[in-house]
Amino acid sequence: MDVKVISTAGKKKHSLELPDGVFAREVSEGAIYHAIRNELANQRVGTASTKTRGFVHFGGRKPWRQKGTGRARSGSRRSPVWVGGGTVFGPLPRDYSYRMPRKMKRVAMMSILSQKAQAEDLIVVEDFTVESGKTRDMAGIIRGITDANRVVLVTAGDDTMVKRAARNIPWLRFLAWNRLRAHDLFYASKVIMMESAAKALGDFYDGVRGGEQ
């Protein structure tokens, strides 16, 4: 597929040929769902904790004698039926993370890229940097390209100055092409991709597809 490459001023510079198998493939909604679910699960801290009756701080003494009081029998104040007693089946610290099949994750990424391209929410811009490293300059560049309220910027590498300028903009996410996140890409209103990053993504995923066939 042919996409136009624009300048930071929003003017068309030239066209770029990208592989259809990566940017114009059939969208797999199931793969996208599982990729986002996997990322969110891996981010969970899993520190929620409750105390069972074995960990509640109470004495082991029987509250009252078994018979003759007219009250229901009771063996311990640690029982879950007592105020301050233990919790039954409450959450305990656990690890929610799990591994997702590599092929499915690749399909999910290519599906999201294709979905954004089909909806014209993918913008390829010529490579640029922010020499000053100032947030104001980065915001001015992005606003010259799009006025969307949720933007993802994909670069060819970890540009220190671009990262410094972008990190304080709440509506902008900064991602390197080889460390994409399905959640950020899927929910972005616009995906701005530097030309070198688009080429790298096309070459990588197209090469992977060729090797798997």
One domain for residues 73 and 107: no
**What's the pLDDT score for residue 9?**
85
Q: Residue 3 corresponds to which tokens in the numbers above? A: 């996409």
One domain for residues 117 and 60: no
**What's the pLDDT score for residue 210?**
54
One domain for residues 128 and 200: yes
Q: Look at residue 149 and tell me if it is in a domain.
A: yes
One domain for residues 72 and 22: no
Taking 50 as the pLDDT cut, the residues of the chain under it are: 213
**What's the pLDDT score for residue 157?**
82
**What's the pLDDT score for residue 213?**
46
**What's the pLDDT score for residue 177?**
92
Sign of CA pseudo-dihedral 138, 144, 145, 146: positive
Supply the pTM of this predicted model.
0.84
Sign of CA pseudo-dihedral 156, 158, 163, 169: positive
Going from the C-alpha of 148 to that of each of 1, 84, 144, 153, the distances in angstroms are: 24, 51, 11, 12
Alpha carbon of residue 50 to chain centroid: 29
Q: Look at residue 36 and tell me if it is in a domain.
A: no
Query: pLDDT by residue (tens digit) across 98-117?
Result: 999 999 999 999 999 999 99
Number of domains in the chain: 2
For residue 60, the tally of other CB atoms under 10 A from its CB is 8
What is the domain extent for residue 54? 45-95
Radius of gyration, CA atoms only, the chain: 27
For residue 55, the tally of other CB atoms under 10 A from its CB is 11
Q: How far apart are CA 200 and CA 63, in angstroms?
A: 71
Q: Look at residue 40 and tell me if it is in a domain.
A: no
Query: pLDDT by residue (tens digit) across 193-206?
Result: 999 999 999 999 98
Q: Look at residue 143 and tell me if it is in a domain.
A: yes
One domain for residues 88 and 105: no
**What's the pLDDT score for residue 58?**
86
CATH number at residue 164: 3.40.1370.10
Q: Look at residue 39 and tell me if it is in a domain.
A: no
Q: Are 175 and 152 in contact (CB under 8 A)?
A: yes
One domain for residues 207 and 159: yes
One domain for residues 80 and 105: no
Examine the fold and report which residue of 78, 95, 112 is the final residue of a domain before the chain moves on.
Answer: 95
Bridge partners, 203 (sequence order) = none
Strands 12-17 and 2-6: what pairing?
antiparallel
Q: Look at residue 206 and tell me if it is in a domain.
A: yes
Q: Look at residue 38 and tell me if it is in a domain.
A: no
One domain for residues 165 and 192: yes
